[in-house]
Amino acid sequence: MDANFADWMAICELKARYCRLMDTKDWAGWADVFTEDVVMDGSQCGGRVTQGRDAVVAYVRSCIEGAITAHQVHNPEMVFDADGLGAEVIWALNDRVRMGADRDLAAHPGHNGYGHYFERYRRCDDGKWRIARQVLRYLHMDVMGA
């Protein structure tokens, strides 16, 4: 198997786990998809910039712990670094989020979002790929009940 194809598949499987583990609220498993120094930037869609694996997990957990979510990503555009230790990936995204009773449902009952993840992946010392940087940009959002 071509090394780039094996890496391509590993990154695709990692992103699939990212979605499944977040949607099932497996926070310990979800934490393992990130580098320790990950930077997550949701500032362009009403969130904030968060740095560090523990802080990212805590922040996202606080936002969607009581929500029912379904994240799907498609059509990865992947470019590997020449040394094979990093990759830039853009994922088409569709997410459905129905907020839980723990949130102000009048302000935001939930949404169907369409956009992209812009991500940096790094091959770590244990040989696993992990997300080192993520920027979320929505193109369109249908607010539930609107």
According to the model, what pLDDT value does residue 45 have?
Answer: 86
94 vs 98: CA distance, rounded Å: 13
Q: What is the pLDDT of residue 2?
A: 54
Per-residue pLDDT, 146:
57
pLDDT at 108: 78
Instruction: Please report, for the chain, how many H helices and E strands are present, in that order.
Output: 3, 6
Average confidence (pLDDT) per 10 residues, the chain, 146 residues: 82 98 98 98 92 98 95 97 95 95 78 97 97 97 83
What's 44's domain CATH number? 3.10.450.50
Domain that holds residue 61: 3-143
- CA 126 distance to own-chain centroid: 21
Opening angle at CA 109, ends 137 and 48, nearest 5: 35
If one counts the domains in the chain, the total is: 1
How many angstroms separate the CA atoms of 75 and 113, rounded?
16
Q: In angstroms, how far is CA 48 from the centroid of its own chain?
A: 14
Can you give the pLDDT at residue 1?
A: 44
Q: What is the pLDDT of residue 103?
A: 72
The reported pLDDT for the residue numbered 3 is: 61
The reported pTM is 0.93
- 3-class SS of residue 101: coil
Quick one: pLDDT at residue 88? 97
Please tell me the predicted confidence (pLDDT) of residue 43: 94
